[in-house]
Amino acid sequence: MGERASRVGKVYLVGAGPGDAGLITVKGLRCVQEADVLVYDRLAGYRLIQMAKPSAKKIYVGKLPDRHALKQADINQLLVDLANEGLIVTRLKGGDPCVFGRGAEEAARLKEHDIPFEIVPGVTSAIAVPAYAGIPVTHRDLSPSFSVITGHETPDKSDERVEWDKLAQATGTLLFLMGVAKLRHICDQLIRNGRSADTPVAVIRWGTRAEQRTIEGTLASIADEAERQQIGSPAVIVVGDVVTARSYMQWAEHRPLFGRRILVTRARSQASDFVRRIEELGGEPYEFPVIEMRAPEAPHKLQAIEQALSQLSSYDWVVLTSVNGVQYWFEHLRRYGADIRQLARTRIVAVGPKTAEELHIHGIVPDLVAEQFSQEGVWSKMQEYVVAGQRALLAHGDLARPWLKEQLVQSGVVVEEIDIYETILPEQHDSDLLELLTQNMIHIVTFTSSSTVTNLIIALQRMGIDRPAEYLAGASIACIGEVTARTAREAGLQVDIVAEQATLEGLLDALQHLHT
């Protein structure tokens, strides 16, 4: 600690973009991932905060319209103090730090104290939010230019700073940020200074995020419409003929999972493809991994693995039950020096297509692939080939059900089981998740195994939730298969949908047909 404190750290003033985590720049993401401390406000998307390294300290300094978490002067000083501790600090700001983001004020304070800093530009909401609503800020036939105006940076002096007569007569698009509270005043001023009352207007709230909502009207009608539909901040106000392009440029709202924030509970090491597909379909994933994989440490488990691998050629069947199982299987083969050629006469069974793909990576073509990600699916493939007296090795995680073993034993097969990996519940406290659940802002909870159900319930209890099932009642529950659904129901959850095919693709297909 003394060594760190002896040197000055560095501050990165990073634009987080408008909310969609995919819109941060490559450099901005690297700053998030490498930071010792993340200082962020409410416009930085939840997904970005999750991308910080586990050891990073996270400090919320966001502002709401009716209160400030910290005054700007205090935020400025906080950055100085953290850097003086020798820390790498990423100040994550919604949009771009230099577009009404007070990046200049923070940079000035850092300069005063000789703190090294860099500014990492971000995608400003002034452009990105209209684009997600299907509105271009310029159009060769509709608007050759655009202006970005703050709605309430200095409320007491706004009319002195804004030259309404010149602004109203501008031929381009007008984009007001942070102006919903003054929407009627803005419209009145533009009309009073010569802008047609019929000018198209759109108001886009929480653009690029799951809560994105767009209303349309004219300068004469939009304020009444915003009040009727209770549109609050944060929102971008678009004034100009470019709003009419929305009739053919809408795209975000047409994606099948648009408007849905989806809780992903599977292990982070497994979730990347699933998360990416959710994003492609327009959903907003929120990762809260409730399972973590690790190699066994208990001597008796390691001894059992070593013994099984020493007699590979004696098995007629080897069943690998997951992608993790395949990865740990080959890890143990390397550790104990086992020769894969000993399996030349052994039939290898994979549970699900993803497990088969992982085997292919290692140069193994499985003899049987269960289409359903379940032990029942494995047995449906194996049973016609099983012969009494054969030997089978079930290589799986420590939470595997005994069902498949029982079926094999009843058929006269000699079965050995080894736990080649263990599933544990990570220690974590996620206050953002609790807030999202409290506000019914998690729309769908996905479960990809019985252990994800059990562990989420335990995790919520550890975070102080006495009745987790009631806490989750505001979200739709989606399960990968009937076994997982049964566990969810036993935990008191109302299961809304079960994937027809017990695979991740099957679950994604089910999500697209789930109406919330």
pLDDT tens figures, 447-500: 998 999 999 999 999 999 999 999 999 999 999 989 899 999 999 999 999 998
pLDDT at residue 186 in the model: 95
- pTM of the entire predicted model: 0.83
DSSP state of 312: G
* Catalytic member of 36, 41, 96, 430: 41
Query: Is 41 part of the annotated catalytic residue set?
Result: yes
Identify the active-site residue in 63, 241, 301, 316. Answer: 63
By C-alpha distance, which of 415, 411, 374, 375 is closest to 394? 415
Phi, psi dihedrals of residue 9, rounded to the nearest 5°: -80, -150
Distance (Å, rounded) from C-alpha 392 to C-alpha 417? 8
pLDDT digits (tens, 9 = 90+) for 198-234: 999 999 999 999 999 999 999 999 999 999 999 998 9
CB 423 within 8 A of CB 240: no
Whether residue 63 lies in the annotated active site: yes
Residue 513: predicted pLDDT: 86
* Measured distance CA(495)–CA(433) in Å, rounded: 20
> Which of these, 226, 247, 251, 245, lies nearest to 236 by C-alpha position?
226
Residues of the chain with pLDDT under 50: 1-3, 65-66, 153-155, 516
Which residue out of 10, 96, 178, 182 is catalytically annotated? 178
DSSP 336: T
Structural domains present in the chain: 9-123 (3.40.1010.10), 127-250 (3.30.950.10), 261-291+426-512 (3.40.50.10090), 294-424 (3.40.50.10090)
Amino acid at 26: V
- pLDDT number for residue 6: 58
d(CA 259, CA 281): 11
pLDDT at 159: 56
Give the per-residue pLDDT at 286: 94
Report yes or no: 88 and 37 within 8 Å, Cβ to Cβ: yes
